[in-house]
Each structure stands twice: as C-alpha cells, then as structure tokens.
Structure 1
Amino acid sequence: MSDPAIHHNQPHGLRQLFSWRNGVAWGMLAFTLLVQLVVWQSLRTNEDRAARQQFQMLGEKVTEAIRKRLRDHEQILLGGAGLFDAVENVSREQWRTYVERLLLPDRYPGIQGVGFSQAIPQAERDAHVARIRAQGYPDYDIHPPGQRDLYTSIVFLEPFLRRNLAAFGYDMYSEPTRRRAMQRAAQLGETSITGKVTLLQETHGKVQAGVLLYVPVYRPNAPLTTPEQRMQALRGFVYSPYRVEDLMRGILRAADLPLALHIYASPGEEPEHLLYASREAPEPGSAGFSQLQQLDLYGQTWTLRMDSRPEFDERFHSNEALVFGLGLGLSLLVFFLTSSLALRHSRAQALANEMTRHIRQSRQDLRLSEERLSLALKGSNDGLWDLDLEAGSMFASPRAWEMLGYRPNELTCDLKLWERLTVAEDLAQQKARLAQTMLSNVDHFTTELRLQHKHGHVVPVLLRGHIQRDPQGMAQRISGTLMDLTERKRVEQMKNDFVSTVSHELRTPLTSISGALGLIVGGALGAAPPAMQQMLEIAYRNSLRLGHLINDLLDMEKIAAGKMSFELREHSLGDLLEESLASNQALCEQHGVRCTLEHPADVLVWVDGLRLQQVLGNFLSNAVKFTPEGGEIRLHSSLRGTKVRISVTDQGPGIPEAFRSRVFEKFAQADASDSRQKSGTGLGLAITKELIERMGGTVGFDCVPGQGTTFWCELPIQIPPAESDCRDGQPRILVVEDEPDTGRLLHMMLREGGYGVERVQSLHQAREKLAASHYEAMTLDLHLPDGSGMQLIDELRDQPAMQDLPIVVISAAHQFEQAQFPAGIVWLHKPITNAQLLVAVEQARDNIRQARSKPR
C-alpha cells in the first residue's frame, strides 16, 4: 500500500519542479541537450563518411571479383592452348578429359563450356568436313553456309550436351562482333573478349546477353613476329562462351551485396550494349550513393554503374532515433536526479521506499522462481546434475541419488563418478560418445545411459545436458537432468516382444499359405476355372504383400534392439549397382516400366553388400510404385568429393510439400487414408535411412512437384592405401590416417626424417598391415571411417606380439579424451610441425625401450 504522505506532497513537489530553486536542474537539462545535439550531428557526419567509404569498398570488391574471375577463366583457356602446343593432334577424348578435370560447374559457375575453334582455309574446307564426319558425326557441316577465305569452325566444346550442341560446327569468324575479337587475338597474340552478342546456346528459356573469350593457338615453330605472320600461323582459338547473367550470378552469389549493378560493354552507358542489370534496381537518381567505374578487359572497355539499395542507405542511419532517444532519456535522467537532490528530503525518502519495495518484490519473485523450478523437477520426477570441469567438482540433486539407491553425497562427487556408476561393458562406448560431443560445436545433447544401482540391478536413464563453453569453444561446465527410463523400457520391451512374437508366429502359416497358393496359381495342381484363378491370384499377391510387411517389421525390430548385424568390407560400386538392376528387372517389367543404369566411374565403397542391395531394392520398388506405365526409372551415381551419391529417379507426381518432413519416419504415408491408391507399409524408407547411417552414409531426396522424385544415399569412397615407401635398412612406420591431405603430409615428414613409411586409411587396412608386417612405430588418428582408434589400441595391447608397439596419437581432441588413453601413448595435438612429429616418434620408441628394460 502506498504511503499517504507521498501522495499528499505530490502537488507541492510538482510546483517546486518549476520553481527558481530548481534552476540548476533546468540548466543541466539545457547543457545535456546541447551536448546531445553536437554528438548527434557528429555521429551523422561520421556515418555519412563511413557509408561513402563502405560503398566505395563494395564497388572495388565487385570490380575486383569480375576482373579476378575473368583472369581465372583466361588461365583455363591458356591451359587449353598449352595442351595444343604440347600435343600435335589433340583428340576429342583428350579435350573432354582436360575440361572434366577443371570441375567447371562447381568452381566456375556461369561458364558455358571450354571449346576449340579450328582455323580452316577455304581450300581445306571439304577435307575438314569429311574428316569430322568420319569421326562419327555424319551430319556435321560448317555453318552458316557460304564462301569465305577463312573459316573457324567449332570442333570441340565441352560439356558436349544440351545448349552446347547448337554451337557444333559454327563459324564464329562469319559474325562481325566475334570476328573483331578473334582478329585482335590472332594478330596480337593476346587474349581478347567480344562485345555484346547473342550466343548460339540460347536455344530455350530467357535469352541472356553473351560474351566470348578467345586465346589464339599457333602452329609450332612458325615465326610470330608480325601480325601477318601470326595470322599465317593460326591454328585456331581456345575459347569460352558466357551467358552474362549466369556468369555474374556465379561471381556475386556469395557476396550478397546491398547494391544494384548495371554492366555495359561500351565506354559509356549505352542501352544497346547493356550486358547485365540487377533485379529490383532503384529508380535512376533515387539511390543514396552511385558511382561509375570502367574496366579494361582484353581489348574491351566495360562500364559498371553501381547504385546503393535502400537497405544499404538505412544501415548507416538506423540507430539515429535510438541515439537521440537515449540521449534525451539520459538528459531527462540527469535532470530528474538533479531535481531530486534539490527538492525536499521527503521526495528522496519516497524514492528510497519505492526502491525497497522493488527489492522485496525481486526477492519474492526469485523465491517463487526457485519454488517453481523445485515443483517442476518434482512433477517430472527428474534428477538434476552439474559438472564443473574447471573446478573438478560434481553436484547431484537428491532425486538423482534416489534413482540409484544412494543417499545424497553418499559417494565421492568428482568427474569420475559417472564412470564408476556406468555399466562396465558400456563404458568404452560412452567415453567415445562423450569425447565426440565435447569436440563438436553442439551446446545441447541427449543420450541414454545404463547406470548401476546400489543393489546391483541396471537403471536405464535419459541424460539431457547443456555445455557451457569458453570463447575458444572449450567446455567449462555441463549441467542437465536425469530421467529414469525403467518403466518406459519395460513398456517398449513388451511392445517389441509382442511385435516379434506376432511377426514370427505369422511367418510359419504365411509361408505355407504363400507356397500353396503359388503352386496352385502356377498350375501345379491343374488348371482352375477362370473366376477361381483370378481369386487365387489376388490371394497369392496379398500373401506376398503380407510377407513383405512382416519382414519389414522384423527388420525394424532388429534395428531398434541393436541386433542388426553388418558385414562391412570393400565392394565395387559398379558391381553392386548392376546386381541391383538385374534383381529388380522382373519387378519393372511386371509394371511396364523401364529401368536404366548410369554409372560413369567405378569406385570402392566400405559397406555390407546385402544391406546396400536392400536399400537399392527399397528405392527401386518405391520408384516403380509411383512411375506410370511406360515410364522410365534411372539408377545413377555421381562423385561428390570424397563421397559417391547413388540416386534413383522416378517419373511420379512428386512428394507433397506437407509430407516431406516425414518421408523417412516409420509408417509414414503421403496418403494415409483407407482409400489410398498406392499400397505399402511405410517402413521401407525408415529402414533404408537406418541401414545407410549404420554404414556411415546419409540419405535424402530431391523433388520438383509434377516432375518426379530422386531418392539418394551418399557413402564415403574407400580410397586404396598408398604404395609402400620403404627402403632396405630403414625403420618402418605405419601411418593410420583417413584424411588424404593429412596422410600425405605425415608421409612426407616421416620420409624426410629417415623412416620408411606405409599409409592406410581405415582400421581394417591397419589390422591387415600389422598382421602381415613388422613396424618400429605407428601414428594413429582417433576418428576413422570404420571405428575408433581407441579400439585398435585396446586390440594391440591385448596381443603379446603387439603390446610393445610405439604409438603416436595425432588428434585435435580435448584433454578430456586424452585422459582416457593408457599410459605410454605419446599424444600430439593438431596442427603439428615436422620437428614435433619426429621428436614424438623417438619419445614413443624410448618409452617402449625403457619399459622393456624394467624387471617384470
């Protein structure tokens, strides 16, 4: 309740606010407002200056990006010209190989291709056409037709597909704009670029402005002193065509620049020479900042107009209102503080009373918050825990102790407590999982643990935690909750036992039913009447469908229980794809669908061959289900860095937008109604996701409504181990490292140190090498594609012949993970130097020698 005295004095206080006694406060208000005005004006001036500098820097960034990209493209063309200089007769296959190695779509978006235009005198025209036709192109001819002294026909252009096919055989010398650039390139021996042209590749879609870049190629050993000699020695041009909008999109795609850009292929802003214009450009004269820049590029002058967008202009003045408001608030605060000192003591007392009330209210709110937290924990029946990694201490709430049968603080609370409480056979796996979580960038985690109760039985718990990290990303503190999963696990086990029992019990009679129906339908017992035959076929098909459902249920049960076994080894991906195509050919023919295989390059993958066949079978059967009769399904693969993507593309209606987030969930159906047209259990894709992830891969899909769906999985490529680099008399070292660049670096460092080196990239290969050869030492990465390096160390320490092998662990792991390894292992943190590596190897060998010399 408010103090009545305060309310009684309020009118008198308001009159004093405007009295002469409060003149000092009004003077302070006027002074602070004047200072605020000066600061605001200075801030606005500085922001305008910063905006101009930023806009100028953005313009230079755009100009430099364009210049650099064209220089990069020039280097590509110069490389192609070098190929012609080195090889007298470059074949079409050699040219294709050269261009494919450039990885143009990934590294140089916007380039249409790289080609070669051959210079052909009029007297050699017919012989040239006959030679190209004999290479397998019977319709080849130089176009446009007509008699000319010199032809420059496009004979190579990669990639040789889609839009680029229209340019095959085109004489670019016949068109004036192209001819000017080609003459300049040939006569000066320099790279040249054309003005604005329309490319022959504009066969469909929006027509874009185009330019072409030329590098001349001359006959070897011909004199090239004068322009006439260069024209006489001309063999042709290595060139690239560009659709300018695609080119600029590739150059500026990562910049996200807040400015509009117009590019003219002329010294001035001539509309007929406009090459490129940004979308949503501001109206002329409306931009806050504008500038013109000219680029001299290979014989052409480009004019670039850059205008700032509204978001750029607003960026530098968005805080003015905030600054003004804060300044005004600060001035009023000073005014009222000064007034409070000048006015009567009762006002100060009233303020003190109000502050006291706020403090009491804050304390009450804090107490209520603590009560709510306590009640929430009691209501959820969860325990609370906290690990302070810097202090090395641990806290657990009474409920957490109660779950395990202990009284609070009955056990010593330290960072090792969770290891003592974890079930022994789970400890190694949980250590590896915790170390991986600590090394990652995640802040929240959820995992299941099996803890040992005081009375001996196992308590399954759900652990949720939050990791507090320092600015360097190192974990400082971990806090979270503990949930008892005993009842949930019991219910889940009952459900799994029920599904398993029902599925197994159904299989026996279903096998008899399907077998009997198959014999009858196949005519083993004689012909049945047509009406009966139709009913029997329906029954037979549905018995097979029920069998597939039961198999899917059993697979899901095995995956959930962790009983699904995998036999991982190296396989040829090409063989697996061909086998899958052959296995599913009958299903495709039954539904009147064609299935094709596109596999450009074979690689090795580390998988369970039968499980991968199951995955591909799920993809193909799903595609057959949704592809209309007479349609085509494509089974194809492509390389993506160190991984290979296997895809199945159908011609179905696509996946509805609302269903896409649930595609890989169990029992998910796009049409879940009783009247749906497509049958299925909704388990195939869920099983597929689990199988691929268990083999170290990922799954996904791409879909355009009405244009079909592509389901894909990506698997890591198994790179064959490097050749041995060992000489007689050298101490031999085995390098176990899956990252190719790091492996090559370690190989080189050790070889320079006088060691013979062999390098492998997986646990499987390391085991084979260690079983077949003797090594003086081994370097080991912890995270390998088929397991943990800790697993290999445990195996070696259990083998008498390998117990004394010196091991150097090279990892970027946190010291928390380092602490889990046995003594005697030398640890190096990435990155490392040559000297550090050699010293670590010698230290590991010395440790083993000292251990051998001690009496046992």
Structure 2
Amino acid sequence: MSDTATHTRTRGSKVRQFFQWRNSIAWLVLVVTLLVQLAIFNHLQIDEERAAERQFGLLVEKTSEAISKRLVDHEQILLGAAGLFDATGEVSRTQWRIYHKRLNLAERYPGIQGVGFAEAVRPEDIAAHEQRVRAEGYPDYRVHPVQDGSVLLTPVLYIEPFGARNLAAFGYDMFSEPVRRQAMRKAAETGQPRLTGKVTLRQETHGKVQAGVLMYIPIYRAGLETDTPEARLQALRGFVYSPYRMDDLMHGILGAADANLSLQIYAGDAEIPEQRLFASAERSHAQPAEYRQLVQLELYGQTWTLQFESLPEFEAYYHSNDTLVLVGCLGLSLLLFFLTSSLALGRSRAEAMAQEMTEHIRENKRALQLSEERLSLALKGSNDGVWDLHLAAGSFYASPRAWHMLGYRPGELQADLKLWERLMMPEDLPRARAQLAQTMLSNVDHFTTELRFRHKDGHVLPVLVRGYIQRDQDGRALRISGTSMDLTEHKRIEQMKDEFVSTVSHELRTPLTSISGALGLITGGAMGEVPTAMQQMLDIAHRNSLRLGHLINDLLDMEKIAAGKMTFDLREHSLRRLLDEALASNQAFATHLGVNCVLKNPADVRVWVDGLRLQQVLSNFLSNAIKYTPEGGQVTLHCSRTDTGHVRINVTDQGPGIPKGFQSRIFEKFAQADASDSRQKGGTGLGLAITKEFIERMGGRVGFDTTEGAGTTFWCELPVVESSAPSADQGQLRLLVVEDEPDTGRLLHLMLRDAGYSVDRAQSLHAARSKLAETRYEAMTLDLHLPDGSGSDLIEEVRADPKTRDLPIIVVSAATHFDQKTEYAGVTWLHKPISAAQLLIALSESLEQTRPHG
C-alpha cells in the first residue's frame, strides 16, 4: 500500500513540474508554435489553391497543344500525300496502299480513320470515270448519290485502309453534302488545308455513331494557272483527305490523359449542344466545378470551342491532407513543448549534450582538415593540377599547379567555361568539341583524353586530362571535375624511344639485307657445294637472319602506325582472289613444316580494303596457325557472312590453344605467351598488334575463339561492298544514293524505288565520283562519314563542277551540328533515323526548287 502511494506522489510531482515557473518558456513555445503553424496552415491552403489553379491551367494548355499538334501532324501526312501526286504525276492504287503502309498510322497516330483521295470529276465525265474504276477490278463501283444540276463531283477513289468501315465511302460524292462541300470549296479556292464542321461520316455503318470531321488538301493539275480562286477551281484535280471519328481521334490524341478533367469540344465559337463534337467524363450538375475554362482553337478555317471542367477527384486531390496537416502541426507543437520542458528542467543534461555536440563538431573539423592535408600532399606528390567546371553555376576553378603548368599565375586569365577552348591548339578544337559532345550525350561518368594546349610562351603543351561527370537523374551533366597531368617529359621519352627504334631498325636493315642475301646465295649453291657440317650452320644463320628481318619490318610498321604515317590504298577487291593469293604465298612455309593448308567456303563477295595490307593480315594469321599446328595437321581458311552486312574471314589451327591468362593481352604490342613452347616458335609479338590496327583502319574488327588443347580460330570482319547495278531508265527521274552502311543504303533504295524513282547506289567517295562523272542524276542522297573520306568534300566538289553545281543534295546522316562545316546552297539536312514521308517530302521540295518556273 505504501509503494502505491509513493508511486502516485512521484507521478503527481512530475506533472506539477510542467506548471512551475521554470517551465514558462515551454508554455510560451507552445503558444507561439501553435500561432505560427496556424498561419502556416492558412498559407498552405492558399498555396494549394494556387497550385490547383496552375495545374488546371497546365492541363488545359497541354491538352489544347496536343490537339493542335496532332492536327498539324495529320496535315503533314496529307501534304506528303499531295507531294507524292505532285512529284509522280499519276499515283496508282498500289502506290497509294504502299504509301499508307509506310506511314504506319495505327501505331504512330492512333485515331485517324484513314487517308484517301477524291478525284474531281465533271458531270459529263462520270461515265468514263466509272468505267475506268470498274476496269481496275471493281465491277460494282458507282458514284453516289446522283444529283441533278451538279457542276462538280468528288467521288472517293482511294481510301486506305481499304476495308471495314472505309468501304462505305468508296465512290461517295463528298461534294453532294453541304458541310463537306463548303470546306472543299474553301480549300480549292485558297489552296490551303481546310477542316469541315460537324458531319456524320459514311464510315458510321455499325456501333455507336460518333461525330465526325474531315480535313482536305487540294491537288491541282500541273501546268495550269493557280493564281486566282477561279483559276484554282478550274485546275482542281482532286483532294487528299482524312476522315476522323471524333471519339477515336481524341482517344488517340489524349491517350491515358488525366481523367480528373472533363473535356467537351464544340464546332463553332459557342457551346451549342447540337454542335458538340466530343465529350469525355462529365461531372454531376448537383455541384458546380471549382475550375472551368473555355479555349477556342482556330484550326484550318474552323473554330473549335473546348470546355474544360475539373472533376471532384481533381479538387479533392489538393485538399485531402488538411486533417493530416492539422494533426501534424498539433503533434509538432506538443513535441516542441515537451522538448523545451525537458531542456528547461534538465539544464545539466542539455549542457552535457551541447558539450558532446561541440566535441563531435571539433572531431569532424579535425578529420576534414586532415583529409584536405592528405589530398594536398597527394596532389603535390603527383604534380597534377586540379580543375572543376560547374555547368549549372557557369563557374570554373583551377588549382595553382594547373595554372603554373600552362605558365600563368592564378587569376591572370578570366576563368569561365570557354577558357579551355581559348587555350587549346586551334587545329585540335573541332575534334575536341565533337569528342566532348559525344561524352556529354553518352552515359559515361569517367573519361580520359589527351589534349594539346598553348603554353604562355607559345610552345605546345601535351596534357593528360582525367575527369568525372556528375549528372542529374535525367543524365544531364551538372558538374565536371578532374586532374590534368603534364605529358611533356613522357612525350619526350616516347619520342626518344621511337627515334631509337626507327634509327636502329633502318641502320640494321641495310647490313642485314646483305647478310641475308649472301647467306641465301651460299645455301642455295651459288658458290658451289658446301660441306654438310657447314651447310647446317649456314642454314641456321640464314633462318635467323630472315627472322631478324621480319622483326625489323614489324618494328618499322609499328613506328609508322604510331606516327600516323601509315597510308592505305582502299579499293574494291574480290575477296576470293585475295584468299587464293594469301594461301599460295604461305604454302611453301606450310610444306616445310609438314602442315596442310586448305580453303573452304570462299565467299564470292567484294570488299573495300587495301589489298597489300589485307595480305599482310592474312599472312600473320596463316603463319601463326602453321607454326602452332603439329606436323601432319591442317590449317583451314574459311569465310562466312554475318547479319550486319560483313564477311568474316576465319583461320583455324589444330594447335594447343591460347592460355586463359594471356587471352586479354594477345593483341597488345610485344605480347607473347610465357610458355616455353611459344618461345621456341619464335616471333616478334607485333604481328597481331599490327593486324588489329590494319583491320580497324579498314573499317573492320578482329577477334579469336580458342579452347585450350583444342586449337584456335583467329578471325577478322570486313564490310561487304554490295553491287548496285544501274536500274533500267523508263522515263523515271534517276537518283544516286551514297551510303556505306549496307542496311541503310538498302532502305533508302527501297524507299525511293517504291516512290517511282530510278536509283543507283555508291558505297564510297571513289565510287560516287565515278558515277557522277558517267551519269546525269536529278538528285543525290549523301552520308557524311564514308570509308575513304568525308561527304563534305564531295559536296564542295559537286558545287565546284559547272555540270553538277545545281544538283539537289539531301544529307542523311547521324552527324551532330559539330560535323556541319557550313550551310551549302541546295543541300537539305535530314538526321537519322528518317521516315519515307520525310525523305520524299524533302526530295520533292529540293526538286521543285531546281525545276525551271514559268
């Protein structure tokens, strides 16, 4: 009983402590926080109301822009169709179907009912028109409805997709219906696209009847005057058009749009129920909408009134957390009250806590200072400079060592984001910009590159730059930081090494040639019979002199590659002939070692290579395979085609395979396996490194497949030159496609051929120059990056030649703006990937600009 009374007194004492004068600060905190949070709550409600209004406005603007943009896209589709008529003269039903199939409207623009063509027919020509269409395989075709007194009929001739609902429109005279006729007449008189008012489409054959509209673009007969409305009506050939079921169209445009808004669309500038085109989710009229807005869109001669209203779900979203916020505010106030009480009633505890926090801060400060000292000492030891580009803030920082490296004092130059461009060698700047742009657009975080800067005293300073890119959640670069290392001494030592190797190699070459030649004459019997014992020694000396000659040749090749002096004579070659020559030149070596070399499945293709360099590659592959194949074994040379338009050349041996620990270094300079057997086989360790450089310079790649104890296959892949025989000219415009990538070249060829053009192809600058010299072309497509040069050079040559000065050129490339030198007259730029519509529209516009007027 006494324990219970004691517990009760203790609890009462603790409660009374909250009401003592020492706790008055806690009560003051409670009152102040409640008042502050009440003001904050009121401010939050105002902000929520503003946020709701802004969000509603953004949704209205987004929806309106989506509708306008989609109709502009549909206009471009119809303009492309009109361009097809203007460019080809006559468009067959098959061509129209192919054009529609290429557009892939069901995936790209869901909601569009189709794309059609309505021919303008005079009443006296109706019989001939019907007879012509029936002859195409439609015996039941007729123009309907039949009206007396019509001066013009526009029956639907083509409509794709040609099936389902669209069949009901086949042969329908759209000029017979007043709403359609008004839009068609306006389009014909002005030459501009026009929308109809609200109509019921012929396609409403079953299911729910939806409101419909149509878009028309007029087509005129070539060679007739179109300067006045009357002249345009006389020259009218017909209309390309698209019918839209409004519910399907809007669902295709809006997709999964915010369901918390109600949208109604009316034809005209007023909300007339009879003119309603579309209605999404509607709210109950029992409670008016908090947010409502009317938007009027002027669309191709029609006014659409868009009525937006918020739904209860939208309004509740911005006020759903009021209770939670109030409870949180009260809880926070009570928490601060109890915390303040605890601090006021436990001063000693607070002082101890403050002391502990102060000590913790001091420890963190000492640790930070120690870390900065270590970083400073490490940078001094490495002799590297530190730099930092803050892209968001537009600031640049460089450490004193980074400035001293370039001969400047800190702060001597204006530090901004373009400083590196001003200090770089001018001839290196375009390449550096392109490399930087590629790095920024990729998803890499670290990079390493060599740059050349101009020292303050004028000399060139090579610098190794290493950096780290800090990106945001969308992958955009925010900050770039890193180090810079002076490579002057490294380059000097590397140059001394290269000069030493070059000098020694050249100086050894002359006496070694004499030694090898003399030994060859003696061992060949030119000096008479040699004693057997001496013959063996002479053979050893001769073989090793030849081996030393190969070593020197490999060293000289590596020197040329490193110095950038290795030139390549790229031409078109028969791969079968090159393989036969390689096998024949290594047959004597194989016979000497008792190895059989065979050629299997030689590919009958042509490749764009340097014949001598490829022979050297094949000789490296074959000689290595022969050396490691046991006596009596077989080396196989065989080919295969890849899915990427390349041919793979394989050389397979029956040797011991490549050790796993050596496989990652096999294409490095002077790389050789450590096994004693490989040392006995000899070799410089440079052959495969040279092979890799040669193949990559010729646009291919190398590799190997191996299994220890089961042989090795070395392979290289080279791009195939596909033959492009000139197509027969049947009065078609002839075009030239210059593209080295086989799949892209084939795609462009099909796009243009299906559009009715005669197309030739070239896969290199050399081939393009030959074709331009032999044949007259109406236009040309061009890729900028070709295996034997830049497409920009070809543009300059074409513009400099009087015969081709006005030739339209369409550049189809994945190049960025860093690669575009200047704007050339008569050149249209299309960036990959492109669609058939883009290509045909650009081609039509380019040909129209060069076509004589009058």
CA deviations over 1:618-674 (Å, ceiling 9, x no partner):
111111111111111111111121222111111111112222222122222213669
Tell me which amino acid in the other structure corresponds to 1:518. G
The correspondence of residues 427-576 of structure 1 with structure 2, limited to 5 A, is: 427-469=429-471, 473=475, 475=477, 477-576=479-578
Deviation of the 1:436 alpha carbon = 4.5
Deviation of the 1:844 alpha carbon = 6.6
Is residue 726–residue 755 contact of structure 1 (8 Å, CA) maintained in 2? no
- Equivalence for 2:665: 662
- Aligned to 1:636, the other structure's residue is in SS state strand
Higher mean alpha-carbon deviation, 582-591 vs 800-809, is at: 800-809
Distance across 2 between alignment mates of 1:643 and 1:728: 35
Tell me which amino acid in the other structure corresponds to 1:645. R
Is residue 387–residue 482 contact of structure 2 (8 Å, CA) maintained in 1? yes
Tell me which amino acid in the other structure corresponds to 1:679. G
Q: Cα gap change, 1:675/1:450 in structure 2, threshold over 3 Å: closer, same or farther?
A: closer
Distance across 1 between alignment mates of 2:393 and 2:824: 24
Q: Cα gap change, 1:688/1:751 in structure 2, threshold over 3 Å: closer, same or farther?
A: closer
- Equivalence for 1:707: 710
Q: Cα gap change, 1:501/1:21 in structure 2, threshold over 3 Å: closer, same or farther?
A: farther
Is residue 722–residue 760 contact of structure 1 (8 Å, CA) maintained in 2? no
Q: Cα gap change, 1:21/1:359 in structure 2, threshold over 3 Å: closer, same or farther?
A: farther
CA deviations over 1:509-561 (Å, ceiling 9, x no partner):
11111111111111111111111111111111111111111111111111111
Distance across 2 between alignment mates of 1:763 and 1:21: 98
The correspondence of residues 243-254 of structure 1 with structure 2, limited to 5 A, is: none
Is residue 578–residue 611 contact of structure 2 (8 Å, CA) maintained in 1? yes
- Aligned to 2:616, the other structure's residue is in SS state helix
Higher mean alpha-carbon deviation, 413-422 vs 446-455, is at: 413-422
Is residue 597–residue 635 contact of structure 1 (8 Å, CA) maintained in 2? yes
Distance across 2 between alignment mates of 1:843 and 1:491: 59
Deviation of the 1:490 alpha carbon = 1.0
The correspondence of residues 80-229 of structure 1 with structure 2, limited to 5 A, is: none
CA deviations over 1:124-152 (Å, ceiling 9, x no partner):
xxxxxxxxxxxxxxxxxxxxxxxxxxxxx
Tell me which amino acid in the other structure corresponds to 2:547. R
- Equivalence for 1:643: 646
Query: Is 1:613–2:612 an aligned residue pair?
Result: no
- Equivalence for 1:624: 626
Deviation of the 1:562 alpha carbon = 1.4
Is residue 387–residue 402 contact of structure 2 (8 Å, CA) maintained in 1? yes
Distance across 1 between alignment mates of 2:436 and 2:760: 32
Distance across 1 between alignment mates of 2:844 and 2:753: 14
Deviation of the 1:685 alpha carbon = 1.4
Query: Is 1:698–2:701 an aligned residue pair?
Result: yes
Tell me which amino acid in the other structure corresponds to 1:764. H
Structure 1: where are the runs of 5+ without partners?
A: 1-14, 24-333, 851-856
CA deviations over 1:314-355 (Å, ceiling 9, x no partner):
xxxxxxxxxxxxxxxxxxxx9999899757343344334433
- Equivalence for 1:587: 589
Tell me which amino acid in the other structure corresponds to 2:657. G
Tell me which amino acid in the other structure corresponds to 2:654. Q
Distance across 2 between alignment mates of 1:549 and 1:728: 61
Query: Is 1:678–2:691 an aligned residue pair?
Result: no
Distance across 2 between alignment mates of 1:737 and 1:416: 36
- Equivalence for 2:231: none
Tell me which amino acid in the other structure corresponds to 1:653. P
Distance across 1 between alignment mates of 2:663 and 2:700: 20
Is residue 740–residue 787 contact of structure 2 (8 Å, CA) maintained in 1? yes
- Aligned to 1:766, the other structure's residue is in SS state helix
Q: Work out which structure has the larger RCO, using CA pairs closer than 8 Å and 6 or more positions apart in sequence.
A: 2
- Equivalence for 2:297: none
Tell me which amino acid in the other structure corresponds to 1:686. A
Is residue 826–residue 843 contact of structure 1 (8 Å, CA) maintained in 2? no
Distance across 2 between alignment mates of 1:448 and 1:520: 52
- Aligned to 2:620, the other structure's residue is in SS state helix
Is residue 598–residue 637 contact of structure 1 (8 Å, CA) maintained in 2? yes
- Aligned to 1:677, the other structure's residue is in SS state helix
Is residue 753–residue 759 contact of structure 2 (8 Å, CA) maintained in 1? yes
- Aligned to 1:592, the other structure's residue is in SS state coil
The correspondence of residues 782-797 of structure 1 with structure 2, limited to 5 A, is: 782-790=784-792, 792-793=794-795
CA deviations over 1:429-487 (Å, ceiling 9, x no partner):
44454454455444333222233333332222223233445555555554433222111
Is residue 698–residue 715 contact of structure 1 (8 Å, CA) maintained in 2? yes
Distance across 2 between alignment mates of 1:799 and 1:392: 47
Tell me which amino acid in the other structure corresponds to 1:524. A
Distance across 1 between alignment mates of 2:851 and 2:481: 44
Tell me which amino acid in the other structure corresponds to 2:599. L
Distance across 1 between alignment mates of 2:737 and 2:14: 83
- Equivalence for 1:296: none
Match among 340, 346, 349 for residue 347 of structure 1 = 349
Length, aligned pairs only:
522
Distance across 1 between alignment mates of 2:545 and 2:669: 22
CA deviations over 1:395-423 (Å, ceiling 9, x no partner):
54443343333444555555555444443
Query: Is 1:720–2:753 an aligned residue pair?
Result: no
Is residue 726–residue 758 contact of structure 1 (8 Å, CA) maintained in 2? no
CA deviations over 1:197-226 (Å, ceiling 9, x no partner):
xxxxxxxxxxxxxxxxxxxxxxxxxxxxxx
Deviation of the 1:787 alpha carbon = 4.6
Deviation of the 1:488 alpha carbon = 1.0
- Equivalence for 1:324: none
Structure 2: where are the runs of 5+ without partners?
A: 1-6, 16-333
Tell me which amino acid in the other structure corresponds to 1:707. A
Q: Matched residues, percent identical?
A: 68
Distance across 2 between alignment mates of 1:555 and 1:800: 43
Deviation of the 1:830 alpha carbon = 3.5
- Aligned to 2:721, the other structure's residue is in SS state coil
- Aligned to 2:456, the other structure's residue is in SS state coil
Match among 747, 769, 772 for residue 771 of structure 2 = 769
Tell me which amino acid in the other structure corresponds to 1:532. M
Deviation of the 1:366 alpha carbon = 3.9
Tell me which amino acid in the other structure corresponds to 2:668. E
Tell me which amino acid in the other structure corresponds to 2:622. L
Deviation of the 1:834 alpha carbon = 4.4
Deviation of the 1:617 alpha carbon = 0.8
Is residue 606–residue 720 contact of structure 2 (8 Å, CA) maintained in 1? yes
Match among 805, 809, 812 for residue 810 of structure 1 = 812
TM-score, normalization by structure 2: 0.54
- Aligned to 1:652, the other structure's residue is in SS state coil
Deviation of the 1:609 alpha carbon = 0.9
Q: Cα gap change, 1:544/1:740 in structure 2, threshold over 3 Å: closer, same or farther?
A: closer
Deviation of the 1:703 alpha carbon = 1.2
Match among 601, 609, 618 for residue 603 of structure 2 = 601
Distance across 2 between alignment mates of 1:665 and 1:353: 62
Greater CA radius of gyration, 1 or 2? 2
Distance across 1 between alignment mates of 2:441 and 2:455: 30
Distance across 1 between alignment mates of 2:492 and 2:596: 48
* Alignment RMSD (CA, Å): 3.9
Q: Cα gap change, 1:743/1:653 in structure 2, threshold over 3 Å: closer, same or farther?
A: closer
Q: Cα gap change, 1:385/1:525 in structure 2, threshold over 3 Å: closer, same or farther?
A: same
Tell me which amino acid in the other structure corresponds to 1:655. I
Is residue 657–residue 709 contact of structure 2 (8 Å, CA) maintained in 1? yes
Is residue 649–residue 709 contact of structure 1 (8 Å, CA) maintained in 2? yes
Q: Cα gap change, 1:840/1:539 in structure 2, threshold over 3 Å: closer, same or farther?
A: same
Match among 652, 657, 665 for residue 655 of structure 2 = 652
